[in-house]
Amino acid sequence: MLANLRQVFRYRALISSLVARELKARYRGSVLGFFWTFANPLLLLGIYTFVFTVVMPGSRGGTRLEPYALFLLCGILPWTWFQTSVMESCSVLVAGGNLIRKVLFPAEILPIVTVLTGLVNFALSLLILAGFLAYYARPVSVGELAWLPIIVFVQLTFTLALSLLLSSLTVHFRDLRDLVGNLMTLWFWGTPIIYSMSQAPERFHRLLELNPLTHLMVAYQSVLFLEGPFDAWPALLGLGVLSLALLAVGYFVFDRLRDTLAEEV
Amino acid sequence: MHAIEVRDVRKIYRRYGRRKSFGTLKSALLSGGVLRHLRPDSKFLALDGVNLDVEAGRTLGIIGRNGSGKSSLLKLIAGIGKPTSGTVRVSGRVSALIELGAGFHPEISGRENVFINGMMLGLSKAEIARRFDDIVAFAELGQFIDEPVKTYSSGMYMRLGFAVAINVDPDVLLVDEVLAVGDEGFTHKCLEKFAEFRRRGKTIVLVTHTLDLVTRFCDEALWLDGGKVCGSGDPKRVVDAYLLEVANSENRTSTEAVPEPGPQPGSNGAGRWGSREAEIEQVELVRADGQAAHVFESGHPMRIRVRVRAPQPLHDFVFGIGIFTADGVCCFGTNTHIEGSVPHELSGSGDFTVDIDRLDLVAGAYRLDVAVHRQDGVPYDYHRLLYSFRVASPLKDTGIYRPRHRWTFGGGVEMSGPSGGQP
């Protein structure tokens, strides 16, 4: 397993080229190119903002989530990264089957590239967020922003763990992808993205806290939106440790299934 | 120094999912036990105790029927997949030509694909940059290199894939039947490149159905059947043994089968068909000394002796023979009708003999058609390529036909040694 990890490291130049290729190939041949990556989160942003501020203005219970669009964006952007990476990982090995069967090539590179491509898109989408922050003239503390790379790293680890696990398992269970697709909807609503933790009834807090993404979203929202110091960092670091453990498990499973991949995809 | 060492390698492929081609989680949950579903339902032994040594700088050809484990062995040597038991050791950098251009992305340019493909094959960016011009020149792409790969013709696509793989500059080159897909020019170019590799002392392993390529090009051959090594060593000997076995087994299966009108698809065009109103019972190839043989000296006599039988008397029949090279080029074909014999009656058992006084063919493996049919061509019993023989010669001349010939020199030319092409 360690030897395989070293090999993945050796292929880092390939990984970065593949990420660049994914980005280029996606934007080539489309009129709006780059825009499409953000079309979906921006559409969601527009819809939710309209529904919750115009259609049902009372539904937010008079909390201080103003401006709501900015609050939403803090959750929707990282969610988009997470969701697209996990969903694409479910099919990436089957789609790249030709490579796995015909070229000597560590298969884990494919899900890793998927997640990293998502990361680059996420980083670019942060520019949109920065634009919103500037537009609303929100004060952002530099000390809090220093947490941002750590939050991103925790999300990266967690996403990578799930992607490795799911990508290798979907080769054997093709319907896992449909299952994951549906679970994603549930997961979205079970995570404080369009509502804040403080709006959720107290008795659900424990349940919400079982959801690893809750801690990530709370961290993003505290650092980028809410005022006051970021005091939820112990939960974030806890999630970080958990994610690393999960990554080890995910990689272990992938490694065990590795030899069956070339025969099954 | 062995470039490739394969020891007692077994490879078992597992098949999952009972009824479906692939499993679903739902079915796994319904039938109880995800873990049980991850266990294989049936196993297929692709390689069974294969041993192989290839010395550095040698060229090995692997032959065998479809499904005999050739490609599995090649993939194990390439490191794509691991043997179920046993060891595979390869020293030096390996490049495998299993599918040309696997991993090209259609949307991006040839240039970018070359870099990514090269990195997949284990080159660094700097190494690819250094070889880039060679790659483009070999692929004959010119300006197209900056166009998206989806605009390439299939020939350009293959040439580029080949150019990248070959420019990895491997110590061990593995080739799986890629030559079969290219046009004449491409195949020629590939062969030239292989020859250059050989001169530079690289090791090549070739999986192919083109037996001619094995005898002409390889230093050794390995014959696999049912995952086991059936023969190895001198290419001509192995190829002959293989051809003989193919002919025999075709013969066995076809005599067991119910006769059907029309050709039956064989693995290499071989087969037997006909109404069986007359049957070919035995075909023997006989040397000058009267011994049945498989190997004949070039320029020596060969006799084809055929026993036929007709349960009901026939009045319309033609006997024919045809000699073909291993890759199917007809060297000679004739029959009694062409040569003016008029049939009167064939009843019960009989025989005919074709005496070839001088078998003027170059060294190599040949196959034989024997047939008895009606004058309008409707077959009674047609044995297509079912028999094989080999022509041996101390001289390494090329081609097919080896006419009796003589060299004479005059004027200022002085030569010594045998002055004739007599073997």
Check residue A225 and report its DSSP letter.
T
State both tokens at B349: 């058992």
Interchain contact B151–A (C-beta under 8 A): no
Beta strand residue intervals within B110-187, DSSP E:
172-176
H helices, E strands: number in chain B: 9, 18
Q: Tens digits of per-residue pLDDT, B44-99? A: 888 888 999 999 889 999 998 888 888 889 988 988 878 888 999 998 888 888 87
Interchain contact B107–A (C-beta under 8 A): yes
Q: Which residues contact A100 (CB under 8 A, 6 or more apart)?
A: A93, A107, A110, A261, A262, A265
Stated as kind and residue range, the H or E segment containing A178 is helix A176-189
Closest-CA distance of chain B to residue A26, Å: 9
Residues A130 and A73: beta-carbon distance below 8 Å:
no
Judge: A104–B79 Cβ closer than 8 Å, yes or no. yes
Judge: A174–B24 Cβ closer than 8 Å, yes or no. yes
Distance between CA atoms of B292 and B303, rounded to whole angstroms? 9
Interchain contact B24–A (C-beta under 8 A): yes
Closest-CA distance of chain A to residue B134, Å: 21
State the pLDDT confidence band at B15, using cuts at 50, 70 and 90: low
Q: Which domains does chain B have, with CATH numbers?
A: 2-21+32-239 (3.40.50.300), 253-392 (2.70.50.60)
Residues B248-275: what's their mean pLDDT?
A: 57
Of B26 and B140, more confident: B140
Report the pLDDT value the prediction gives residue A167, as an integer from 0 to 100. 93
Stated as kind and residue range, the H or E segment containing B304 is strand B302-314
- The neighbour count for residue B255, using CB atoms within 10 Å, is 11
Judge: A25–B121 Cβ closer than 8 Å, yes or no. no
Judge: B25–A176 Cβ closer than 8 Å, yes or no. yes
Report the pLDDT value the prediction gives residue A64, as an integer from 0 to 100. 64
Instruction: Count Cα neighbours of B199 within 13 Å in the Cβ-side half-sphere.
Output: 6
Least confidently predicted of A60-74, B16-30, B150-164, B316-330: B16-30
* Residue numbers in chain A where pLDDT is lower than 70: 1, 28-34, 58-64, 265
Interchain contact B120–A (C-beta under 8 A): yes
Report the pLDDT value the prediction gives residue B140, as an integer from 0 to 100. 86
Residues B278 and B271: beta-carbon distance below 8 Å:
no
Q: Tens digits of per-residue pLDDT, B189-201? A: 888 888 888 888 8
Q: Which residues of B touch A13 (CB under 8 A)?
A: 119, 124-125
Any idea what the Cα angle at residue A220 is, between residues A219 and A224, rounded to 5°?
Answer: 120
Judge: A28–B108 Cβ closer than 8 Å, yes or no. yes
Residues paired with B369 in a beta bridge: B322
- Cα B178 from chain centre: 12
* Largest pairwise CA distance in chain A: 60
Check residue A58 and report its DSSP letter.
G
Output b/e per residue, B334-351; b: 16+ Cβ within 10 A: ebbbeeeeeeeebeeeee
Closest-CA distance of chain B to residue A77, Å: 27
In chain B, residues 44-83 whose CB comes closer than 8 Å to chain A? 75, 78-82
Closest-CA distance of chain A to residue B397, Å: 39
Report the pLDDT value the prediction gives residue B157, as an integer from 0 to 100. 86
Task: Tell the residue number behind the tokens 């090329």, with chain if given.
Answer: B398
Distance between CA atoms of A205 and A197, rounded to whole angstroms? 8
Residues B262 and B388: beta-carbon distance below 8 Å:
no
Distance between CA atoms of B221 and B198, rounded to whole angstroms? 16
Report the pLDDT value the prediction gives residue B265, as an integer from 0 to 100. 39
Residues B323 and B302: beta-carbon distance below 8 Å:
no
Q: What is the crossing angle of helices A12-27 and A35-50, to 10°?
A: 70
Report the pLDDT value the prediction gives residue A201, as an integer from 0 to 100. 86
B268 pLDDT above the threshold of 80 = no
A18, A25, A172 ranked by CB distance to B38: nearest: A172
Residues B345-361: what's their mean pLDDT?
A: 91
State the pLDDT confidence band at B188, using cuts at 50, 70 and 90: confident
β-pairing verdict for B295-297 and B271-273: unpaired
State both tokens at B299: 């320029």
> Which of B82, B113, B114, B120 should we substitute to test contact with A (largest number of A Cβ atoms within 10 Å)?
B120
Nearest to B83 by CA among B3, B5, B173, B22: B5
DSSP string over B184-204: HHHHHHHHHHHHHHHHTT-EE
Judge: A103–B121 Cβ closer than 8 Å, yes or no. yes
Residues B383-407: what's their mean pLDDT?
A: 86
Interchain contact B127–A (C-beta under 8 A): no
Stated as kind and residue range, the H or E segment containing B312 is strand B302-314
Question: In terms of pTM, does the model score above 0.90?
Answer: no
Report the pLDDT value the prediction gives residue A68, as an integer from 0 to 100. 85
* One-letter amino acid for residue B341 of the chain: S
- The neighbour count for residue A55, using CB atoms within 10 Å, is 8
Report the pLDDT value the prediction gives residue A248, as an integer from 0 to 100. 94
Report the pLDDT value the prediction gives residue B261, as an integer from 0 to 100. 39
Q: Tens digits of per-residue pLDDT, B300-348? A: 899 999 999 998 898 999 999 999 888 778 889 899 988 888 999 998 8
Report the pLDDT value the prediction gives residue A226, as an integer from 0 to 100. 80
Interchain contact B38–A (C-beta under 8 A): yes
CB pairs under 8 A between A and B: 85
Report the pLDDT value the prediction gives residue B258, as an integer from 0 to 100. 42
Residues A264 and A175: beta-carbon distance below 8 Å:
no
Q: Which residues of B touch A11 (CB under 8 A)?
A: 119
Distance between CA atoms of A25 and B72, rounded to whole angstroms? 33
Residues B5 and B89: beta-carbon distance below 8 Å:
yes
* One-letter amino acid for residue A42 of the chain: L
In sign, the C-alpha dihedral spanning A117, A123, A124, A128 is positive
State the pLDDT confidence band at B38, using cuts at 50, 70 and 90: low
A14, A179, A260 ranked by CB distance to B120: nearest: A14
Distance between CA atoms of A132 and B330, rounded to whole angstroms? 79
Closest-CA distance of chain A to residue B51, Å: 22
Stated as kind and residue range, the H or E segment containing A85 is helix A68-95
Q: Tens digits of per-residue pLDDT, B233-247? A: 888 888 888 888 877
State the pLDDT confidence band at B259, using cuts at 50, 70 and 90: very low
B216 pLDDT above the threshold of 70 = yes
Residues A223 and A148: beta-carbon distance below 8 Å:
yes
Report the pLDDT value the prediction gives residue A214, as an integer from 0 to 100. 93
Q: Which value does ipTM take for this structure? A: 0.74
Judge: A102–B79 Cβ closer than 8 Å, yes or no. no
B16, B37, B119 ranked by CB distance to A17: nearest: B119
Closest-CA distance of chain A to residue B212, Å: 26
* One-letter amino acid for residue B125 of the chain: K
| Residue A254, domain extent | 2-264
Interchain contact B109–A (C-beta under 8 A): no
